[in-house]
Structures are given as structure tokens and as C-alpha cells.
Amino acid sequence: MPIYEYKGLSKAGKNVRGTLDAENVRAARTKLKKDGIYVVDLRDKTKAAIKKNKKPGGGKSVGVEDLSSTTRQLAVLLKANIPLVESLAATADQVENPTLKEAISDIKNMVNEGSSFYKGLSKYPKIFDTTFVSMCEAGETSGTLDVILVRLAEFTEAQNELNSKVKSAMLYPVIMFLFTMGMLSVLFIFVIPKMQTIFESAEMELPWYTNAVIGFSSILVNYWWLVLAGGIGSAIVFRTWKSSPAGSKQYDAILLKLPVVGRLARMVAVSRFTRTLSTLLQGGVPMLGAMDIVKNVVGNDVLARAIIQARDNISEGESIAGPLKKSEQFPPIVIHMISIGEKTGELENMLTQVSDSYDFQVKTQISGLTALLEPVMIIMMGIAIGVIVFSIMLPMFDMANMAG
């Protein structure tokens, strides 16, 4: 069924726009007329997408909050025993995000024509990742799709909360660094050259540290293009190296060995691993299939290779705790709790507990680092500016004494 994009006027005279699905243009206009909308413009988005050789919404991603709320709405409707097609139609009407609205409407049409729900989801990989599709496939097969969607909503919200915490913690140091660089640039490019002119007119001998500051200032003023090109070139080289297969492996290995950042990166990866694996297993996804999925969510090549090795060993009949312990990449407490979970048949619950514990530790450590970084950044900025001021002001005092 085609998806139409419309622009029109409401009964109150306000401009309205949105999307809806209908059998043809006439049916679309009839639907809008019943809703009290005077149509100004009506276009078939499906045909437009085909002309551009892409699926509607297929190349765009959707925010986590929109995806989570939509998933929860759909779960509530299914739990109320409303058929899947009607639930998807009602959900599409409630969604405000145009990309997600198009996707849900298209999936509803596919399901209405006899396709599986999870196959409709797989048509939009930028919106619904492998974890989402696999869990919905398991839920659809077992008849527990409503329960699975609730778990997916909770899982998405938990992952989003952790990622937001990490990003917000990085924001302050970045702002402070940029502010410091801006202050130093102003001093080196505008202030110091003027002071250099004064010193040259006085024909006085300057100390080595003042000459060093003036020399660095001259480089920035006269060869700023070279410094800028060097910085951009270094960034390009680093990104190229990091995005290459060999460079990515080296970067991930180095990251895990760093003093403070490495421990934090490992904790975040372990949290993602345990929560995703727990969610998949609770959703009815087989262990081997779940391990294939979680290797892609840890965000670190070293840990991903350890999971792949563990998956291969599990396929040969081993437990999950043993291979993970051999890799020496997972903390002992994680291995211990997984081992207990396997023995007691409570693996999913143990994995959830591990994830909750590591989420809490990550948040605590990030809060501590943020509190520590604030004075450290201020001290570093003060030292840098203090050195410059000292290097310039001391010769000025000498000039004043000579004049006196």
C-alpha cells in the first residue's frame, strides 16, 4: 500500500503536514477529508523513493527516545490483544518522527500482505538493528512478541542512558580544552606580537623563556597555514589508521591498556555485552545466535575476538564461562557470576545483575573523573597562561626599572 505525504489546512486554519497510507490518491484524500483537513499538496512517497532508488526512510536513522517510546506503545497495544496490523496502524498514527512513521506504515503494509513482522523490520537496518530484529523474530515465533517488545524498550532505554552519561562526561573536558586553546591562540597571535614590537624598540636582551614564547608566537603568526595543515593532516592520518582493519585492532588494544580510560572502556564494553546477551536470551534467541550478535555491540575488537572464540568453543559443547576466562579479557567477577548462572539455570538474571552493577560503576567512575578533571583543567590552563604572562611581564618590569 503506498505511503502519501500531505500538506493541508486544518478546520482552525492551521498548516498541517504528515504522512498516511492509502490504496490510492482518492482514498488518501477521503481519509484526510474525514479528519477535517483541506488538502493543499499530496504526493506518493513510495514512488518518489523508488525514483531515487532507495527505500522510504531506509537510509536514515532514528533517535533512541523515539524508537523506545514507539516500541513500548506497540507492546501495550499487542498486550491488549489488538491484532498486529491494527496495532502497527495505531502506532504509526501516534509517531511524530516522519522517518519512523514511514517505516512503521510500510511494515504494517508488509504484514497485512502476509509478510513476517521481523522481515519488515529487517528492511530498515538503520532504524532496527540486528538485536532488535532477532528478538522480534524469536518473539513472533514463540507468540510472546508483546513481552519481547517491552524488554526491547527497557534495553534501549538502559543503553541510551549509559551512552548519554559517557557523552555528557566527555563534554566538559572538550569545552574546557577548546576554551583554553582559544585563550592561548589570542595571546600568541594578537598580544605577544605587540609586546615583541615594544621589546625590539627598547633594544633590550630578553631571557631564554621569553624568546621561546616569542618564537612560538612568530611561528603561529607567520606559518599558521602550515600549523593548520599539519593538524588537519594528522587528524586525517589518525582517522584513516583507526578505520583500517589493522589500525582498529591496534587502537582497541591500546585503549584497553590505558591507565584510567582503559578500565572505563572495558567496563562499558562488559556492560553492553552482558545486558545485550541477557536481553537476547530472555527473548528466546539461541545462545550461538546471541553470541553472533553481541560481538558487534561491545565496540572493541579485542573483546569481540574473545567473544567469537568463546562462541566457537560453545558450539563444540563447552560452557560460556570457560572460554571467556581463557581470553583473560573479562573481569574475574563477571566470569564467576556467569559460571554460577550456568550452574543454577539463572544465567539471564546473573547477566542482568552484572550489567546493572557495571552501569552503576561506570556512572560512579565517570562522576569521579568529571569532578577530578575540572580542577585539573583549570590548573593546566592557569599554568599555561601564567607561563606566558611571566615570560612577558618580567621583561616589562626590567624595562620599567631601566627607565626609572
Strand, coil or helix: 19: strand
Residues 358, 272: Cα–Cα separation, whole Å: 9
pLDDT band at 45 (very low <50, low <70, confident <90, very high): low
Which DSSP string corresponds to 73-101? HHHHHHHTT--HHHHHHHHHHH---HHHH
Residue 286 belongs to domain with CATH number: 1.20.81.30
Mean pLDDT of 205-218: 87
> Residue 376 falls within a domain, yes or no?
yes
Which DSSP string corresponds to 262-324? HHHHHHHHHHHHHHHHHHHHHTT--HHHHHHHHTTTS--HHHHHHHHHHHHHHHTT--SHHHH
> Residue 250 falls within a domain, yes or no?
yes
Domain range for 287: 154-404
> Residue 242 falls within a domain, yes or no?
yes
Indicate whether 348 and 384 sit together in one domain: yes
Return the residue matching grid coordinates 552519561: 165
Q: What is the pLDDT of residues 118-160, one digit of tens each?
A: 899 988 988 888 878 888 888 887 788 888 888 888 888 877 7
Residues 35, 11: Cα–Cα separation, whole Å: 9
> Residue 351 falls within a domain, yes or no?
yes
Residue 27 belongs to domain with CATH number: 3.10.20
Indicate whether 86 and 193 sit together in one domain: no
Indicate whether 82 and 186 sit together in one domain: no
Indicate whether 210 and 297 sit together in one domain: yes
Average the pLDDT over each of 48-57, 72-81, 157-166, 205-214 and give the range with the smallest value: 48-57
> Residue 136 falls within a domain, yes or no?
no
For 269, how many CA atoms within 13 A lie in the half-sphere containing its CB? 24
Indicate whether 221 and 184 sit together in one domain: yes
Indicate whether 267 and 398 sit together in one domain: yes
Report helix angle 261-282 to 245-257, nearest 10: 110
> Residue 337 falls within a domain, yes or no?
yes
- 279: which 3 cell numbers? 536481553
Which DSSP string corresponds to 162-190? HHHHHHHHHHHHHHHHHHHHHHHHHIIII
- Could you tell me where the beta strands, DSSP code E, fall in 12-150? 15-21, 38-44
Indicate whether 246 and 292 sit together in one domain: yes
> Residue 135 falls within a domain, yes or no?
no
Q: How many domains does the chain have?
A: 3
Indicate whether 243 and 122 sit together in one domain: no
pLDDT band at 54 (very low <50, low <70, confident <90, very high): very low
**Phi/psi of residue 396, each to 5°?**
-65, -40
Indicate whether 7 and 90 sit together in one domain: no
Q: Is the pLDDT of residue 404 over 60?
A: no
Indicate whether 313 and 274 sit together in one domain: yes
Q: What is the pLDDT of residues 89-129, one digit of tens each?
A: 899 888 888 888 889 988 988 888 888 998 999 889 888 88
> Residue 392 falls within a domain, yes or no?
yes
Mean pLDDT of 345-366: 86
- Rg, C-alpha atoms of the chain: 30
Strand, coil or helix: 104: helix
Indicate whether 115 and 214 sit together in one domain: no
Per-residue model confidence (pLDDT) at position 236: 95
Indicate whether 97 and 226 sit together in one domain: no
Residues 43, 223: Cα–Cα separation, whole Å: 55
